[in-house]
């Protein structure tokens, strides 16, 4: 039996070293973790501070795809697609326990659809080069239905098959956290940055609060990277209150339904919806994720909520292509995420704004990274650390992340539920409760709760059910049923009392209500 580990808040002590850090990264999502891993693997001393939990925001609410972006190709952004396809291939090699190949069927209901989309997807293949996951090809009606048996058959002419990647977003975030630690970096969640330290006009560190003790601390660094996603403007305005906002956030919504709506192993891509986007129906953890939308929002929220019209749009569009059509009663979870889109020069629709990443360096030397997407997290980190080394006068070192095996790297063929842990899976299975499933409609065990509390800095019921496992997204109602037991196990691991447990269950109940339609 593995003994309980020291309280993860010992990271606070590690963060308070008297020697300045080379790099402080603010933000524990895709861009922040990618930047921190990039810096640490180059041998720099790195501290990462996350104000809530790792991947709390946008980085746990994606469509679960590692992809080049077929839609960006249609927009003519060939360079972005080429870069994303290369990064897709590298991530498939660097984290085979988290990324898998996935076949997509583009259904064709018009005579021109097959040649039109077929030519575009051949270009997609060419851009992937040696890192291609497979060649696209035309499908007869019979073959399309063989791959995706629940497609609407009336008027179906055939389809186009192409390949992309799929992953588990918040599990990749935790894997990057562990990779950062493996390379000597220090990371702390629930440590919001409350201000920036300056010497004259130069940014030389941060003020942060330990969210559990309430104590305020300072940490100095040669360079500070602001990688807080849709909240980058908040950090920028800590340095300069007059800094103009650079983001135009957009909301994307997904629904999750039972596997019966897409029983095979292939996904569906609907190439053009009423609002000009693409819509995906993707098999994921024995469920189906359908989305997404693109709705401009006036301000960022930590818990964005799906609008009624977004839910109706997804159900209406999916109903045109799937038989049977999913209804509101079939939705097991609905989630929304915010895209940190950089404001264009004009008032372009958010669908037309580039998803490429942007790096801005202030007069005081604060480096802000925003935009981008999970697929290109590694390249975002590489570009940002290159700039950070130049800005801070750090030794300029070559990147090693294109070939870096991430924590838990494994090509072993485990069941989907255990595969995301890679080589850590046997260690988790050796813990108490590995054979005790928390809920009959979910695959997760008591041992995984203990593991997350001991080794993955999980501090709350939400951390466990939303991000260390994916219970909240797979079946929000079932996740509510197991919240009391999860709170009890965390309390055992972290030394919390019954009052804490009750408070956690109530907080989680309030949260989960926002993920249910009925």
- Do 28 and 176 reside in the same domain of the chain? yes
My answer on whether 273 and 386 are in the same domain is no
Same domain, 376 and 254: no
Phi, psi of 356, rounded to the nearest 5 degrees: -65, 155
Tens of pLDDT along 47-106? 999 999 999 999 999 999 999 888 777 777 888 889 999 999 999 999 999 999 999 999
* Residue finishing a domain among 311, 339, 367: 339
Is residue 476 domain-resident? Answer: yes
The two structure tokens encoding residue 297: 């929002």
- The number of residues in the chain equals 518
397, 440: one domain: no
Residue 232 host element (H or E): helix 232-239
pTM of the model: 0.95
Residue 230 lies in a domain: yes
Phi, psi of 252 (to 5 degrees): -120, 130
In tens, the pLDDT along 306-319 reads 999 999 999 999 99
Q: Is there a single domain that holds both residue 252 and residue 161? A: yes
How many domains are contained in the chain? 3
Residue 156 and residue 276 share a domain: yes
Burial 378-411 (b: 16+ CB within 10 A, else e): bbbbbbbbbbbbebbebeeeebebeebebbbbbe
Alpha-carbon gap, residue 107 to 159, rounded angstroms: 4
Statement to judge: residues 241 and 252 lie in one domain: no
Give the pLDDT score at 353. Answer: 42
Q: What percent of the chain has pLDDT over 90?
A: 82
pLDDT digits (tens, 9 = 90+) for 468-491: 999 999 999 999 999 999 999 999
The residue among 297, 198, 201 whose CA lies nearest residue 253 is 297
pLDDT of residue 415: 80
Which pLDDT does position 352 carry in this prediction?
A: 41
CATH code of 120's domain = 3.30.9.10
If asked whether residues 282 and 374 sit together in one domain, one would say: no
Q: How would you classify the pairing of strands 99-108 and 267-270?
A: parallel
Beta bridge partners of 250: 296, 339
Asked if residue 460 is part of any domain, the answer here is: yes
Asked, for residue 409, whether it belongs to a domain, the answer is no
Contact 509, 460 (CB under 8 A): no
Mean pLDDT of 230-257: 95
> What single string gives the DSSP state of each residue in 82-110?
HHHHHHHHHHHHH-TTTEEEEEEEEEE-S
The span from the CA of 24 to the CA of 206, in Å, is 8
Do 208 and 255 belong together in one domain? no
Residue 411 included in any domain: no
Nearest to 66 by CA among 163, 165, 173, 132: 165
CATH number for the domain harbouring residue 434: 1.10.8.870
């Amino acid at each position: 039996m593995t003994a309980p580990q020291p309280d993860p808040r010992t990271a606070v002590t590690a963060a308070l070293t008297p020697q300045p850090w080379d790099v402080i990264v603010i933000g524990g999502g895709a861009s922040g973790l990618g930047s921190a891993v990039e810096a640490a693997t180059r041998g720099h001393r790195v501290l990462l501070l996350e104000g809530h939990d790792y991947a709390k925001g946008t980085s746990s609410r994606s469509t679960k795809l590692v992809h080049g972006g077929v839609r960006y190709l249609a927009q003519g952004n060939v360079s972005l697609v080429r870069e994303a396809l290369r990064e897709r291939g590298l991530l498939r090699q660097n984290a085979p326990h988290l990324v898998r190949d996935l076949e997509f069927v583009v259904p064709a209901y018009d005579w021109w659809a097959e040649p039109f989309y077929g030519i575009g997807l051949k270009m997609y293949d060419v851009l992937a080069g040696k890192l291609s996951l497979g060649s696209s090809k035309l499908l007869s009606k019979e073959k399309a239905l063989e791959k995706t048996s629940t497609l609407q058959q009336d008027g179906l002419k055939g389809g186009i098959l192409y390949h992309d990647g799929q992953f588990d977003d918040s599990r990749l975030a935790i894997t990057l956290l562990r990779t950062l630690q493996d390379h000597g970096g220090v990371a702390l969640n629930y440590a919001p940055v409350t201000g920036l330290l300056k010497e004259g006009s130069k940014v030389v560190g941060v003020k942060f609060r330990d969210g559990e003790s309430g104590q305020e601390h300072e940490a100095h660094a040669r360079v500070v990277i602001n990688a807080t996603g849709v909240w980058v403007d908040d950090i920028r305005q800590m340095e300069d209150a007059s800094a103009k906002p650079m983001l135009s956030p957009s909301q994307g919504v997904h629904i999750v339904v039972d596997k019966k709506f897409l029983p095979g192993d292939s996904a569906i891509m609907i190439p053009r919806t009423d609002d000009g986007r693409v819509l995906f129906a993707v098999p994921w953890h024995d469920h189906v994720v359908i989305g997404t939308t693109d709705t401009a929002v006036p301000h960022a929220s930590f818990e964005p909520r799906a609008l009624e019209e977004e839910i109706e749009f997804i159900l209406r569009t999916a109903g045109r292509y799937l038989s049977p059509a999913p209804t509101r009663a079939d939705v097991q979870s609905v989630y929304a995420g915010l895209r940190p889109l950089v404001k264009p020069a004009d008032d372009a629709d958010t669908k037309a704004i580039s998803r490429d990443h942007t790096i801005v360096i202030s007069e005081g030397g604060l480096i802000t990274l925003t935009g981008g997407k999970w697929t290109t997290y590694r390249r975002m980190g590489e570009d940002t650390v290159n700039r950070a080394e130049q800005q801070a006068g750090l030794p300029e070192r070559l990147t090693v992340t294109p070939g870096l095996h991430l924590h838990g790297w494994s090509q072993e063929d485990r069941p989907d539920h255990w595969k995301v842990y890679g080589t850590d899976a046997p260690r988790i299975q050796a813990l108490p409760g590995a054979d005790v499933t928390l809920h009959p409609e979910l695959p997760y065990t008591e041992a995984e709760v203990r593991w997350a509390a001991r080794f993955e800095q999980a501090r709350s019921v939400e951390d466990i059910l939303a991000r260390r496992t994916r219970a909240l997204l797979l079946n929000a109602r079932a996740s509510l049923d197991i919240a009391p037991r999860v709170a009890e196990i965390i309390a055992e691991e972290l030394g919390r009392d019954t009052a804490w447990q009750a408070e956690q269950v109530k907080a989680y109940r309030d949260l989960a209500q926002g993920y249910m339609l009925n």
